[in-house]
Chain A
Amino acid sequence: MIMSRKPAMLEVADLEVVRGGTPVLAVPHLEVRKGQTLAIIGPNGAGKSTLLLAMALLIKPSKGKVWVAGEEATPENSLRLRRRMAMVFQEPLLLDMSVAENVATGLKLRGVGRAEREKRVAVWLERFGIATLAHRRARSLSGGEAQRASLARAFALEPEVLLLDEPFSALDAPTRAGVIADLLAVLRGTRTTAVLVTHDRDEALALGDDVGVIIRGELRQAGPISKVFGAPVDVDVAGFVGVETIAPGMIQTHEDGLAQVRVGDRLIEVASDLDPGTPVFLCLRPEDVTLQTPLEPGQERMRSSERNRLRGSVTDVIPWRGQLRVTVDCGFRIAASLTYRSVSEMGIAEGVAVEASFKATSAHLIPRVESPNGREGLEGE
């Protein structure tokens, strides 16, 4: 792959953070390639922000190394390396001065001259749509305006690496969408390398090229977003990246890259190269599942490329992220995502008989192993 030849702008290895004797973060290796955005996702309190602070050289890890643009961070060069990066926090954390002065702060700290400062401040206030607020006091801004000012302040430094710690989570939904759109445009336009910490997988999908999943202080999986979201390595990651159907099963046969998996009393076909006899979890994303209601007599039935068609009945219909989440009991539960319109046109409601179908390539198998703490899953890739 050509992409992987790009140099790492930020890299951590063997990173460990211990707080009060308890390890809170362990990351064997993670890197962000030049011009890419790495999203770090995970539940609240998983250690994502701690990782970002270590990357920003703002906390000293108990163990491990950080490289910025290929240079290993040491106490001696940490200020110089910090000045090649910029960070935006969840709260805007503006200083009690005007918006323009705030945006100029980092430049002033670096000793950038007045003319250059004013030029850059004007450019970045404009880029984030807050040029008219330049002389307002920072504390008089709304949440969205303040976060734009905070982003402008970071970009004014023209950082080689931009670190974003849940920068949108304090914003209301419409404001958030606007700020994300502006940030995406600026990131694409400037080709700035970025790391985005978020607990929202939609933000990760919108902004990230690569993604790292941190759960309970451990980096469980990292890689291109399509790979991590499409083929999570364990059930925790699967759950976090939006896999809603996770059912235990066993591979029965394997032929031509297609495995037959027994889940309950059903046989499911899944594209996989795992061997027969392997205990697995069958993973399905709700958007990959299609539902059919029985056809009216006389209507021709078409062949489908969907290898799996399972009959069952609807147990549950709930609104979810602007759509409806329909749960179907086919011997095990399958979650499907449908629009309001489909649900009403097809007459889907609790108790209705439907057929759930999905392609062999949409399903993903995670080998199932007994882990020491009794939880089933697989650590590492």
Chain B
Amino acid sequence: MDLIWGGAVQAVELIVRVDHEVMSVTLLSLLVSGSATILSLLLGIPLGVILALGNFPGRQFIASAINMGMGLPPVVVGLFVTVFLWRNGPFGFLHILYTPTAMIIAQCIIASPVVAGLTMAAMQQLNPKLRLQILALGANRYQMVWLLMAEARLPLLAAVMAGFGAVISEIGASMMVGGNVRGQTMVLTTATVLETSRGNFGMAFALSLILLVLVYVINVILTSVQQRSRQP
């Protein structure tokens, strides 16, 4: 029990006195996962919308691939991104392996299918006749897509949440492509692994606590937006 109690006390201390290392790890986590989420929204939302509304050969195939991608194991992504960015790999000349950029790329690959898949589901659950009604109101194609997205805004927010949730708590890929370099590519999850393995439970507790609070706060914000648009 001492172990747990001591760890908890140390964790609170570290957070309260705004420990420099804890803060830099937290900020990097937010930066990497935030950027990856934004990129995955830019890729995933249009893709999901096109798959939901379009009708073209190969649509079914891409949709299945995306649904499969929603469960893509992060270590597999980590492996492939590492190989591609390896010194003599296809993109080795970029020299970005073991940098936050590589982590953003890997996390974006993890989050994009989640965002695309949930966007597709969100758009498909709309009444199909709504499309005809919006066109009948005089919408051009872009106006129609915009109004349909506005109509599906609640499930689309869920897609954003799920995308961010998938990457902020992801560890395998970040570890592999970032290398868990202290002060450079160490994020909350990878740091927790390291500190736990070294027996620094106080530090590990502190990092986990911050991770939990972070995930909670972001979900509270998104949920409150959802609930606000629900009110009559």
Contact = CB atoms under 8 A, between A and B. Distances in A.
Interface string B136-154: 1111100100010011000
Interface stretch (A103-111, A200-208, A308-316): A103-111
B88 interface: no
Identify the interface centre among B130, B132, B143: most chain A CB within 10 Å of its CB. B132
Contact of A95 (B132, B136, B151, B229): B151
Contacts of B137: 86, 105-106, 109, 153, 157
A53 B127 CA distance: 17
A83 B138 contact: yes
Interface in A70-129: 79, 82-83, 85-87, 89, 91, 93, 95-96, 105-106, 109-110
A125 to B, nearest CB: 16
Nearest to A53: B132
B135 interface: yes
Contact of B138 (A53, A91, A106, A140): A106
A235 interface: no
A82 B134 CA distance: 11
B232 A91 contact: no
A79 B136 CA distance: 9
Contacts of A79: 138, 140
Nearest to B137: A106
Contacts of A149: none
Contacts of B229: 96
B129 interface: yes
Going nearest first, the 7 A-B pairs with the smallest beta carbon separation are A87-B136, A106-B137, A93-B133, A83-B138, A137-B232, A109-B138, A109-B139
Contacts of B135: 58, 82
A227 interface: no
A246 interface: no
B232 A58 contact: no
A140 B130 CA distance: 18
Nearest to A153: B137
Given A82-B135, A87-B132, A91-B129, 18 more contacts: A58-B135, A58-B136, A79-B138, A83-B138, A86-B137, A87-B136, A89-B132, A91-B127, A93-B133, A95-B130, A105-B147, A106-B138, A109-B137, A109-B138, A109-B139, A109-B143, A136-B232, A140-B232
A194 interface: no
Nearest to B138: A83
Interface in B136-176: 136-140, 143, 147, 150-151
A315 B147 CA distance: 59
Q: Is the interface of B mostly helix, strand, loop or mixed?
A: helix
Contacts of A95: 130, 134, 147, 150-151
A373 to B, nearest CB: 34
A56 B147 contact: no
Interface in B100-140: 127, 129-130, 132-140
Contacts of A89: 129, 132-133, 136
A236 to B, nearest CB: 29
Identify the interface centre among B130, B136, B143: most chain A CB within 10 Å of its CB. B136
Contact of B132 (A58, A83, A105, A110): A58
Contacts of A96: 150-151, 229
Interface in B188-232: 229, 232
Contact of A86 (B127, B130, B136, B232): B136
Nearest to B231: A137
Contacts of A153: 137
Contacts of A85: 136
A93 B130 contact: yes
A157 B138 contact: yes
Nearest to A137: B232
Contacts of B232: 136-137, 139-140
Contacts of A163: 136
B127 A82 contact: no
Contacts of B140: 79, 109
Interface string A136-174: 110110000000000001000100000100000000000
Interface in A223-245: none
A280 B135 CA distance: 47
Interface in A184-226: none
Contacts of B130: 93, 95
A109 B135 CA distance: 10
A163 B133 CA distance: 11
5 contacts: A82-B138, A86-B136, A93-B130, A96-B150, A139-B232
Nearest to B133: A93
Contacts of A136: 232
B155 to A, nearest CB: 12
Identify the interface centre among B129, B130, B139, B143: most chain A CB within 10 Å of its CB. B139
Contacts of A82: 135-136, 138
Contacts of B151: 95-96
A85 B133 CA distance: 12
B138 A110 contact: yes
Nearest to A79: B140
Contacts of A109: 137-140, 143
A140 B230 CA distance: 11
